[in-house]
Chains A and B, each alone.
Chain A
Amino acid sequence: MDEHYKPFLFEGGGKEYFRIWIVNIALTILTLGIYSAWAKVRTNRYMYANTYLNGSNFEYNADPIRILIGRIIVVSVYILFVVFAEHLMMFEVAAGIAILALLALPWLIRQAVSFKLRNTSYRHVPFRYVGKTRDFYAFFLLHGLLNIFTLFLAFPFSYVRFKELILRNSRYGQGEFFFKGKVQTVYEIYFSVIGWMFLVLLAFVIVIAVISGFAMEGSMGVEEVLLSGMLEEESPSSEEAGTLITALASVFMVFIYLPLIFGQKGLSDAYFSNYVRNHTTLESAPFKGEINPFRLAWISISNVFIIMLSLGLLYPWTEIRYLKYKLEHTSFACEDYDQFESYGYEQGSTVGEEMVDFFDIDIGI
């Protein structure tokens, strides 16, 4: 069985992608944002088309016009909400919009899942999603309450159930995906991520304590830092915290906060990606994730510094670097790539997808 495993390959390059990325941004600026829908399609097409499995690549088939319509709807509702809440001070109307949006959320998330799958194809056979809307309502109601009452201690359990809801209803042609994972493993992942973060933070604290040990006397106390933070928030006009505070905050941000946050992001992404891949099959064909969590954490942290030092210009390169590493440490063992039958391409609403996109919600597909 093992010799059937074939890794995904990624052929995209930073230089080539840089051009696509910068032209996308420039055209988006020049068209006052309208081109952003085409930009999204071009970016996704580039990423999908450069992903190869067993010598064939993936395709992204979304229609930019539909994406634009979805985008306009989402942005309009959001603007409406902001105008009512912050400018007209009509909180009843704003709350009404928020409640409607909240009620529609499970439905929209299902739409987003379905959008991502049906617009992806491999060998001209599209993926599909057959999950029911009512299952999404049931899921969010049940697990929402569960997590409120358990103060999110049940989150790993909900995570596994959500992955089941997504993957078990995903199809490639007639092929069915299956996912079965242990909740215990997810708890272990959380413990190791928190554990590593704690150790790193402890190391930082020790280093800082040693360095500043001599200079402690007479320097700024914690209360003053806190007070300035509070004051800054309430500060109405151009008054803001002293330059010293700003400098301290910047140093803290750059050397402690950012590595910690982005290291944690890479670490969790690797653990969870491996977990999902190692418990997912397409019919009887298994996936395998061999992403090294520390390597991905390093990529994530160094990427942030590369982005900052290049003032954002090397962002395309970092994006490709991250994606390439993840994909090329994922593999799939299928005996017959020819066996899948197409159910045809479907169109559908793009509002869910654009909502998820706009608010940057990670539904993990």
Chain B
Amino acid sequence: MLINAVLYDGKSSKEHEVVIDFTPEKRVIIVSHEIDVPLSEVIFESRLGNTPRVLSFENGMRCKSRENDKLDQVLKEFGLSKSKAYKIESSLGLTLGSVMITIGFVWFMLTTGSTYTANALASVLPPSTLTEVSEVTMTQLEESYLKPSKLSDRQERIIQAHFNKLTEGELGYKLHFRSSPTMGANAFALPSGDIVLTDQLVALSQDNEFRDILGVLAHEKGHVVKKHSLRIAIKTGISGAIFGYITGDVSILASTIPTILINSSYSREFEHEADVYAVKELKKMKISTKYIATLFEVLEKKHGGEENATVMSMFASHPLTSERIDYFKSYID
């Protein structure tokens, strides 16, 4: 079969129009340039869309031909297959398959995948890592937002007893009592297991025995157990990497958009997970969920009108929907 091509001798930038003859004896002949070599000595570059195909000869010459379909036919007749990548790219089914794989992978990594990765990562990371990261954060918080607690001995003793029972037999958990006028009624957990409780939240307690505070502590412990901070970090990292890889140079998108996406849409999921955990723990300890439901109602009334009062507060940041209160109520026996 005859194929039109341009020949470069590899010594200069001159172009020569040539006709390549592929003979049935599996030889490649270019009469004008005295080339007559076996097919096996010619390297065919894999096809890439409709770009001119490059044929390299052992003597350094190169031919380029735009007759891609004819060349594919030659290769087929000689029993040489098309390149694998081109096979996938030119098949509609396999291209669609690639779309599904990509979308599926991204979706998986942003949902359940991050849980697995977080667990795997947490088991690989030396335990000191989480502790040290948390220590740094704690120091920063102490400097800017936290003051020593003014709770009475009795209050501290009861709450501490609840906490000890909640974390019985588990290492690493520590409860910190602090006052924080800036953050207001709040409680939060660090990945190391340090849980901070503000006086302002204790002040809102409606139960003499602080069983509602125990519910909050169980919720915070849920964040630690479910490794939420690590999962957020991993999700941000993964989506950043995906954005970065897919969009190449659009690095600003890579660093900012995922953070916003994740912070806005995943917090609810994590709050719910922590709530589920809290309910489970409360049941185990045989304490009714009505106490925490009542506390949440108080908080909702308090924060209902002023959404932007204390931004960081766990309650203000994810407005207490009646759904969450109903969830706790549904477990009251």
**Which residues of A pack against B, CB within 8 Å?**
11-13, 16-17, 19-20, 22-23, 25-30, 38, 42, 45-46, 49-50, 56-57, 59, 86-89, 122-125, 173, 220, 224, 227-228, 231-232, 234-247, 249-250, 253, 258, 261-262, 304, 307-308, 312-313, 315, 319, 337-342, 344, 360, 362
Complex Cα distance, B132 from A88, in Å, reads: 10
Judged by DSSP, the binding face of A is: helix
Query: Is B134's CB under 8 angstroms from A57's CB?
Result: no
Choose from B102, B248, B249, B251 the contact partner of A22 (Cβ within 8 Å).
B102
Choose from A26, A261, A360 the contact partner of B102 (Cβ within 8 Å).
A26
Contact with A along B241-272 (1 / 0, CB 8 A): 00111111111110011001001100100110
Nearest CB on B from A211, distance (A): 20
Known: A50-B51, A124-B13, A312-B247. A238 touches B132 (CB 8 A): no
In residues 303-332 of chain B, which contact A (Cβ within 8 Å)?
307-308, 311-314, 316-319
Complex Cα distance, B10 from A344, in Å, reads: 8
Known: A242-B311, A253-B257. A342 touches B11 (CB 8 A): yes
Best-buried of B51, B260, B274 by chain A (most CB within 10 Å):
B51
Segment touching A, from B24-32, B69-77, B186-194: B186-194
Determine the residue in chain A with the shortest Cβ distance to B94.
Answer: A23
Closest 4 A/B residue pairs (Cβ): A124-B8, A49-B51, A26-B98, A340-B13
Complex Cα distance, B179 from A97, in Å, reads: 42
- Judged by a CB distance under 8 angstroms, whether B229 is at the interface is yes
Query: Is B13's CB under 8 angstroms from A123's CB?
Result: yes
- Judged by a CB distance under 8 angstroms, whether B48 is at the interface is yes
Best-buried of A26, A56, A237, A239 by chain B (most CB within 10 Å):
A237
Complex Cα distance, B308 from A239, in Å, reads: 14
Query: Is A220's CB under 8 angstroms from B308's CB?
Result: yes
Nearest CB on A from B260, distance (A): 5
Determine the residue in chain B with the shortest Cβ distance to A261.
Answer: B252
Query: Is A246's CB under 8 angstroms from B264's CB?
Result: yes
Query: Is B188's CB under 8 angstroms from A239's CB?
Result: yes
- Judged by a CB distance under 8 angstroms, whether B169 is at the interface is no
Known: A23-B89, A307-B247, A342-B12. A46 touches B307 (CB 8 A): no
Complex Cα distance, B86 from A45, in Å, reads: 13
Determine the residue in chain B with the shortest Cβ distance to A246.
Answer: B264
Determine the residue in chain A with the shortest Cβ distance to B92.
Answer: A19
Complex Cα distance, B95 from A22, in Å, reads: 7
Query: Is B311's CB under 8 angstroms from A341's CB?
Result: no
Query: Is B52's CB under 8 angstroms from A49's CB?
Result: yes
Query: Which residues of chain A come closer than 8 Å to B90, judged between CB atoms?
Result: 19
Query: Is B132's CB under 8 angstroms from A89's CB?
Result: yes
Complex Cα distance, B270 from A304, in Å, reads: 30
Determine the residue in chain B with the shortest Cβ distance to A88.
Answer: B126
Determine the residue in chain A with the shortest Cβ distance to B129.
Answer: A87
Nearest CB on A from B7, distance (A): 9
Determine the residue in chain A with the shortest Cβ distance to B128.
Answer: A89
Determine the residue in chain B with the shortest Cβ distance to A337.
Answer: B13
Nearest CB on B from A347, distance (A): 15
Best-buried of A88, A123, A262 by chain B (most CB within 10 Å):
A123
Query: Which residues of chain A come closer than 8 Å to B250, judged between CB atoms?
Result: 304, 307
